[in-house]
Chains A and B, each alone.
Chain A
Amino acid sequence: MTLPDAEALIGKLAEQIRREAGPGVALVGIYTGGVWIAERLHRMLALSTPIGTIDVAFYRDDYKKTGLRPGVRPSDIPFPVENADIIVVDDVLYTGRTIRAALNEIFDYGRPTCVRLAALVDRGGRQLPICAQFVGAAVSVAIDQTIELRRDASGRFSLALAS
């Protein structure tokens, strides 16, 4: 199948967020793809609150199975989470487990007023009651395939299938 153009999807996400979120909204990207997209959205929307970045490794529910992988990055939320209006940003929304972990981590920083979710693509397959308020595109791919967000040397994004 052909995957949609990632650059166009980011434009769509930016439009949706611009329409529905106030200027005080704060973005929190999930490593790695979510952070790339959050950085781009932050520039496109000229937001004033600096972006947060999180690596959910310490909150994952498959730690018992997989352990801690090398390459964990420090999470950093440089704004007060207490009473914040937050949009969590990820590249691919699938089972919802990463988002569950991200929500738990964010709440360890404080109690936000509101948390919404932006995903570049939603591939269905949810295993938890989680949905995104901002979605670039819904796509359908085989269960044994993964969708990867790539960024080339010039900073352009593209989507690719891997199995």
Chain B
Amino acid sequence: MPPGASASLWHPEAVSTLNPSLQISPEGKLLHLLTTEGLPAATLLQILDTARSFVSVTEREIKKVPLLRGKAIFNLFFEPSTRTRTTFEIAAKRLSADVVNLNIATSSQTKGETLLDTVANLTAMHADMFIVRHSESGAAHLIARNVGPDIHVINAGDGRHAHPTQALLDMFTIRHYKGGFNDLRVAIVGDVLHSRVARSEIHALTTLGVPEVRVIGPRTLLPRHVQNLGVHVFHDMEAGLKDVDVVMMLRLQQERMSGALLPSAGEFFKSYGLTPAKLARAKPDAIVMHPGPMNRGVEIDSAVADGGQSVILPQVTFGIAVRMAVMGILVGN
């Protein structure tokens, strides 16, 4: 990240709760995974390397290793997400951990218990790890600051701030198909402003040495000063996609379409929906990614989503191996 750029660029209100150094010990060990911001390349690469070994585990008859036997992992989802919660659950089970799923939106929080009270109660039940999704930026950081030294926290998405495991699985996918990061031109397309995925991806891509990261979207959906993060800004899809190696689409949240930011889903698709014609501007071997769930006909055309350049389903498969790697490294530290 260039000097001067910081978390405050995106969301000034969140900065006081976010401390990237919380996740790395003075000896350089990863204690929590809260954000890709500030993570050294060596740590990112260790996660990606370890994940490659876990991909081979998922190809055998018994898709399970005994690494986290006897460990209790709590999925704390304060915001609904079936898909992300499920991939964390599968990852934990393949490491032989015991998994408890808590949908807090429907639980104690509605009875007035505070976030930290909930965590204190679960700690008393001998939790070893919390996987946290919350609509507030900084929720996972708050928990990480308040748990004992043997408890690890993974941020599974906090507000508009970060979604580090999604960014890591995207890096794994890029490395798998492109062999590395050093010669790539990568475009991130759509609602960058509201996307914790985009933010985490930009930090990871620049740290791993991708020389050209582009963001493409309408002015209303790009953060002001986003270029200070070291990215090139495009408002025109055809210009932005020219000769890129990787197209990373973002989900357009339905609620944005009813607000003042966008005229309509149809209008958005016309300008920024990824169609075969627009994709033809990219390199012929470019890959197309999407963090899911997709809005077909809004940000992506079905012909592209289901086409030969789409790696959207492999992303899901790699996501399990990447989450296994993160859990295995954290609990071992």
**Interface set of A (CB-CB < 8 Å, partner B):** 55, 57-59, 63-64, 66-68, 70-77, 81, 104-105, 108-110
A-B contact pairs, 5 of them (CB 8 A): A58-B65, A67-B332, A73-B53, A74-B53, A75-B57
Instruction: Choose one: A58, A66, A72, A73; the contact of B66 (CB below 8 Å).
Output: A58
B21 shortest CB reach to chain A, Å: 20
Contact B61 A63 (CB under 8 A): no
Which of B44-52, B153-161, B233-241, B292-300 makes up part of the contact surface? B44-52
At the interface, yes or no: B291 with Cβ under 8 Å from chain A?
no
Q: Give the CA-CA distance A102 to B42 in the complex, in Å.
A: 28
A75 contact set on B, CB distance < 8 A: 53, 56-57
**Interface set of B (CB-CB < 8 Å, partner A):** 29, 42, 46, 49-50, 52-57, 60-62, 64-67, 328-329, 331-333
B223 shortest CB reach to chain A, Å: 34
B45 shortest CB reach to chain A, Å: 8
A58-B67, A108-B61, A109-B61 known; A68 and B328 CB under 8 Å? yes
Contact A74 B52 (CB under 8 A): yes
Contact B332 A104 (CB under 8 A): no
Contact B53 A110 (CB under 8 A): no
Apart from A67-B332, A70-B50, A74-B56, what 7 extra A-B contacts exist at CB < 8 Å? A58-B67, A58-B328, A67-B331, A68-B332, A75-B56, A75-B57, A105-B65
B56 contact set on A, CB distance < 8 A: 74-76
A59-B66, A71-B49 known; A110 and B61 CB under 8 Å? yes
A63 contact set on B, CB distance < 8 A: 67, 332
A57 contact set on B, CB distance < 8 A: 53
B62 contact set on A, CB distance < 8 A: 108-109
Q: Give the CA-CA distance A73 to B56 in the complex, in Å.
A: 10
Contact A104 B66 (CB under 8 A): yes
A73 contact set on B, CB distance < 8 A: 53
A77 contact set on B, CB distance < 8 A: 60
Contact A70 B49 (CB under 8 A): yes
Q: Give the CA-CA distance A77 to B61 in the complex, in Å.
A: 11
Output the nearest chain A residue to B45 by Cβ-Cβ distance.
A70
